[in-house]
Amino acid sequence: MKVIDGTIASPLGFSADGLHAGFKKRKMDFGWIVSEKPASVAGVYTTNKVIAAPLIVTKTSVKKAGKMKAIVVNSGVANSCTGTQGLEDAYTMQEWTAEKLGVEPDMIGVASTGIIGELLPMDTLKNGLSKIVVNGNADDFAKAILTTDTATKTIAVTETFGRDVVTMAGVAKGSGMIHPNMATMLGFITCDANISSDTLQLALSQNVEKTFNQITVDGDTSTNDMVLVMSNGCTLNEEILPGTPEFDKFSKMLNFVMQELAKKIAKDGEGANKLIQVDVVNAPNALDARMMAKSVVGSSLVKTAIFGEDPNWGRILAAVGYAGVDVPVDNVDIMLGGLAVMLASSPVTFDDEEMKDIMHEDEVTITVDLHAGHEKGTAWGCDLSYDYVKINALYHT
């Protein structure tokens, strides 16, 4: 597999565009991804009991049609908690986009992100649809879906399947309200491989637990979280089927793209200065390891310690202990950046200057060795700074 300098439109047969429609005062706020032919589609969605209108519409269409021509997204207004009118507006967003592209409404996915409780300004939506083009600027799409993000999040890779080269690309947004369990977190992945919707859903569902569901910024699960994958078959490779080496290769490709996007989201947490990676190793099973890793990276005390560049192993061990996993913790090793701070559940002395350098890095890795098995789990998050409080205190409803 090779990482390339690409965009969400790098796979064959895809294009994208983004622009300023007026959902926000100045920044880009409206975009779409379009496949030249209907693509197989798979999705995972928020587990929050409060589900935004666009997710209801998109989830229904994905299940009904199993194919998708385009995904249209606005930022600035979430169209969540907007009642019957909000749902009608989401369907209208789908219908207007379908009319522009000359397809059935169920071939369109819709997504919104932004302030909860505000109705979509339909004139603004109409303005955006009148200006957007099929072969536009894919980099602008990555910008148009952002809210409090400080940077775009994209990744593109290629992989060889027989004589064919398959391209996969991803784009995401997310900075606050990130604690997905498929925040606000939106992820869109395009691919030109020949794969059915059912097989695509299998690959997505298998990998989401190890990637997007292993990130946390602030412990809040959004009403609008969604990941959609479209694969249009334009490479004309032999169909990828479950239980084959080709499926395993495709799944690894998808896992890599999803993991890279997840890490980019975690690193761009609101007010964040540092990316935190937690590896729990030698656990009895992978699920327990993932739960413990996410418990550590989600701890406010651990996050503030990392912000303060304090190697506080006690907070890490406490988060391991309350993870809700029945695993012995009397023989735990904890390392920060490879430097041991605890061995066999007892603190050890370490070189202060070496630790100072480790904690000063913009990426800090915490390793927790349970000595209780052979499985591993990883989670990603960010530190918790003064700016996080400022950003969210000033974010209006």
In the annotated binding site for substrate, the residues are 147, 173, 184, 270, 392, 397
Residues 6+ apart with CB under 8 A from 320: 280, 292, 295, 296, 329, 332, 368
Nearest to 355 by CA among 336, 369, 331: 336
Alpha-carbon gap, residue 246 to 264, rounded angstroms: 27
Among 148, 152, 184, 223, the active-site one is 184
**∠153-154-159 over CA atoms, to 5°?**
150
Nearest to 307 by CA among 219, 390, 385, 386: 385
Distance between start and end Cα atoms, the chain = 44
Residues 6+ apart with CB under 8 A from 2: 157, 158, 159
**In a 3-state reduction of DSSP, which class is residue 44?**
strand
Matching residue, tokens 């990637």? 211
Nearest to 31 by CA among 86, 83, 70: 70
184 is catalytic: yes
- The secondary structure element, H or E, covering residue 397 is none
Alpha-carbon gap, residue 75 to 147, rounded angstroms: 6
Q: Kindly list the strands in the beta sheet with 275-283, ordered across the sheet, starting from the edge strand earlier in the chain.
A: 215-216, 375-382, 275-283, 363-369, 333-336, 339-343, 346-347
Residues 6+ apart with CB under 8 A from 103: 38, 69, 70
Output the known binding site: 147, 173, 184, 270, 392, 397
**∠216-395-84 over CA atoms, to 5°?**
85
Alpha-carbon gap, residue 286 to 360, rounded angstroms: 30
Residues annotated catalytic, as ranges = 184
